[in-house]
Structure 1
Amino acid sequence: MPGDPIRVLLADDEPLYRATVRLLLAAEPGMTVVAEAGTGREACALAARHAVDVAVVDVRMPDWDGITATEHLTALPEPPKVLVLTTFDLDQAVYEALRAGASGFLLKDVAPRRLLDAVRSVAAGEALLAPSVTGRLIAHFLDAPRRPRRALDGVTPREREVLGLITRGLSNAEIEQHLHLSRHTVKTHIGHLMAKLAARDRAQLVIAGYEAGLADE
């Protein structure tokens, strides 16, 4: 029996773009748009009233931009996953969106199928980054002023290896091959890392890896 549809909130101050995405999602089996917002503040108010699985949020909006909206959305008692869309491929926007709790980041010019797949991936708890994001985040951290590195308290040497590979952008399958581990073992290590580092999803593990300096290793 099919599961419940993925409930999506759209937040974008461009009515035409919002309508286009709404029609795209409405035509996709297993998805439904439950609310639309033109500002970040409105998006958070609607998310608090509706059961939302995924919020598709534009970075540049009036009255709370996408970064501020993401911070408030992920702080709700039942937070949705947040997929950030933007026209501008900016390092700082990428980092701030993920740091605020976003689970995915894509440019607005992605193909329709890519956007639909992104919504499904984020709803399933997976991190989703545009192809350029990992390299740009590494560059951002290497160019930024040196800051104290995050301690990985309680993380075992093997878990640190796994986290390092996640930070470098490797998929689970690639980690399995690199470390000669089974799929179950890799998933177990990732689960332990998420618990120990208080990470909501894989995107938060990526940020933890950068802050621990694993991107430099």
Structure 2
Amino acid sequence: MDWTAYLPMLWQGAAVTMTITLASIAIGGVLAFLFGVLRVEGGWVLSTVALCYTEVFRGTSLFVQLFWFYYALPLVGLSFEPVTTGILVLAAHAGGYGAEIVRGALSSVSVHQLEAARALNFSRFQTLFHVSLPQAVVEMMPAFGNLAIETLKLSSLVSLISIADLTFSAQSIRNITLDSASIYSVTLLCYFAMSLVLMIGVRILERIVRRGNAFPRAAHS
């Protein structure tokens, strides 16, 4: 059986995969900054809440998280569409790891610069947004790039809750044609191509961020 007739199905699956990945990265980035900043500047209560969030989502399997959100939450009256569930779980997972990236980058800002900000009567809010974050964001970018690619690879797990992503489509075609080698080779290339697109996007964003922070970095050096 000629499996190439099913190529449109693969492309549709790839589009679903990319959509879920980009949405998860966007939401996960917001969660990462929120909980990462709270870890550093949130005080005892909020810092503890942020710590619990990061440890739960970093310390448990994404596979189990996905099934828990999809099959367990409906038992208490909370249910979501499969795509929504996939995006939320991937975003929460990425946010947990991203929060640690943000926390680490903020913690690496020189103590002398923070003391200088206090000497200039900067508030904690002003110090965070005018001193700490402009420098920390530059340091975060390579790690966030790796996290984005990891999120793309982990997105294949959403096929387990019947989302017709690239992996689900490839498996369906393989079951029809029984041509494992060709189909999975093309699927492998599709994931690699999407990883390259993400990598290029992150590199461009990193250059923009570094260029935008060139003056502050020079002023602080």
TM normalised by structure 2 equals 0.23
Q: Which structure is higher in helix share?
A: 2
- Bigger relative contact order, structure 1 or 2 (CA pairs below 8 A, ≥6 apart): 2
Compare the two structures and name the one with the higher strand fraction: 1
